């Protein structure tokens, strides 16, 4: 079985995955309790799918009855990006959105991996990327890939800017052991979160998380949170950027589809408002920015324009924004622009 494990990890690397580790198919009880408590507080926001069948998230045999092991793979995506804008007033895109949509990328490679494994060694397998019914980070910890930082992300030897993908398999591969590491007394991420979304170590309130609000959340954002979103147009890397474990960037570990950027990390809001839907689709097809869509990004941009950091009074800008409100067809974007203008004019 060890030979099969090594061959599987080697094949996964060939397909562009990073590290791999092997876990039992069931997580220990503390994970089920933590998930239950997190859900009971409503920290999953509008992601109702997370509350569905929580038992499946901690027990992979409920998804694949013959499952004997969960093999978790990383896909590192960190790269050197400027944390200061090239021009004042530009808006920022999170690192994980700079390349191709990783769901599509990992799913395609995962299918190839499953086909190869079945044809070479037999067995029954299933592959999940992110949206699968599994607590992937907890399985990754049990598979010895790293530990959970206080920001709730998995910290691996390559840092925490990694995507995760999981293979459920009926093959009884040799297990890996969890690593003995922790954040110690550090609390940089807890203090750095602009919206206070990190309620406690490893407890994220998605309702306040900028990543969730700018990508997943539909409709208007709570007025109390809007002023804190800038400069994030889509996603947020703040808690991971302050983390000492992310100081070293090894760009050689990045998948080529991420190393070749499709999107720049800083955007001008004027560009967004000058695009039509067809131009947007052409420019961002296959990228995660298509998830919030053009109107979602415009809404976010409007909140940034009216934020504490960006709302300097400039008559020309106000005239332009008022013109945009007049021409805007989307009600949520129009309200967001009106809110920004009001804040610029009133200073509130
Ligand atoms: Fe842990 Fe500090 Fe990194 Fe937060 S910033 S995950 S507390 S090491």
- Residue-level pLDDT at 278: 94
- Residue-level pLDDT at 297: 96
The catalytic residues are 130
12 CB contacts (<8 Å, ≥6 apart)? 20, 73, 113
- Residue-level pLDDT at 9: 98
Q: Which residues of the chain have pLDDT under 70?
A: 131, 257-261, 348
Cα 187 to averaged position of ligand 1 atoms, centre (Å): 6
- Residue-level pLDDT at 85: 87
Reading the block at residue 159, the tokens are: 């840092």
- Residue-level pLDDT at 34: 92
Protein residue closest via CA to atom 3 of ligand 1: 243
- Residue-level pLDDT at 287: 84
- Residue-level pLDDT at 113: 97
Integer Cα distance of 21 and 41 in angstroms? 31
SS3 call for 163: strand
The total number of residues written for the chain in this structure: 348
Cα 155 to averaged position of ligand 1 atoms, centre (Å): 9
- Residue-level pLDDT at 348: 55
Burial 8-43 (b: 16+ CB within 10 A, else e): bbebbeebbbbbbbbbbbbbeeebbebbeebeeeeb
- Residue-level pLDDT at 261: 58
Protein residue closest via CA to atom 8 of ligand 1: 183
Integer Cα distance of 11 and 122 in angstroms? 15
Protein residue closest via CA to atom 7 of ligand 1: 187
Q: Do the Cβ atoms of 80 and 237 come closer than 8 Å?
A: no
Cα 42 to averaged position of ligand 1 atoms, centre (Å): 24
Protein residue closest via CA to atom 6 of ligand 1: 149
Opening angle at CA 216, ends 311 and 343, nearest 5:
15
Cα 194 to averaged position of ligand 1 atoms, centre (Å): 15
Q: Do the Cβ atoms of 59 and 25 come closer than 8 Å?
A: yes
Cα 201 to averaged position of ligand 1 atoms, centre (Å): 9
Protein residue closest via CA to atom 1 of ligand 1: 183
Pocket test for ligand 1, best of 182, 188, 192, 239 (most atoms within 8 A of CB): 188
DSSP letter, residue 156:
B
Pocket test for ligand 1, best of 78, 150, 160 (most atoms within 8 A of CB): 150
SS3 call for 127: strand
- Residue-level pLDDT at 255: 72
Ligand 1 contacts (CB < 6 A) are 149-151, 183, 186-189, 242-245
- Residue-level pLDDT at 260: 61
- Residue-level pLDDT at 150: 97
- Residue-level pLDDT at 146: 97
CA distances (Å), origin 259, targets 81, 197, 263, 264? 12, 30, 11, 12
């Amino acid at each position: 079985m060890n030979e099969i494990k090594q061959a599987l990890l080697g094949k996964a690397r060939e397909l562009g995955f990073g590290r791999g580790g092997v876990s039992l198919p069931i997580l220990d009880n503390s994970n089920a309790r933590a998930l239950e408590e997190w859900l009971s507080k409503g920290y999953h926001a509008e992601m109702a799918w997370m509350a569905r069948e929580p038992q499946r998230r901690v027990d992979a045999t409920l998804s694949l009855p013959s499952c004997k092991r969960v093999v978790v793979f990383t896909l590192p995506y960190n790269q050197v990006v400027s944390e200061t804008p090239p021009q004042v007033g530009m808006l920022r895109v999170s690192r994980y959105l700079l390349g191709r949509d990783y769901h599509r990328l990992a799913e395609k490679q995962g299918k190839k991996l499953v086909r190869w494994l079945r044809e070479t060694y037999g067995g029954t397998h299933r592959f999940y990327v992110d949206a699968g019914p599994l607590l992937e980070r907890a399985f990754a910890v049990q598979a010895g890939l790293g530990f959970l930082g206080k920001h709730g992300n998995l910290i691996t030897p390559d840092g925490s800017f990694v995507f995760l993908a999981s293979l459920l398999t009926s093959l009884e591969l040799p297990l890996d052991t969890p690593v003995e590491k922790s954040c110690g007394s550090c609390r940089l991420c807890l203090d750095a979160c602009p919206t206070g979304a990190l309620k406690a170590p490893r407890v994220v309130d998605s309702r306040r998380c900028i990543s969730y609000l700018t990508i997943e959340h539909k409709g208007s954002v709570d007025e109390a949170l809007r002023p804190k979103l800038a400069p994030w147009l889509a996603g947020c890397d703040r808690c991971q950027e302050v983390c000492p474990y992310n100081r070293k960037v090894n760009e050689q570990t990045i998948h080529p589809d991420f190393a070749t950027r499709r999107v720049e990390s800083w955007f001008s809001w004027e560009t967004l408002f000058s695009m039509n839907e067809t131009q947007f689709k052409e420019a961002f097809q296959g990228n995660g920015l298509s998830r919030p869509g053009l109107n979602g990004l415009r809404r976010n941009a409007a909140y940034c324009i009216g934020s504490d950091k960006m709302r300097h009074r400039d008559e020309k800008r106000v005239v332009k924004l008022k013109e945009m409100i007049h021409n805007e067809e989307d009600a949520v974007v129009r309200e967001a622009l009106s809110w920004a203008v009001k804040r610029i004019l009133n200073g509130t």
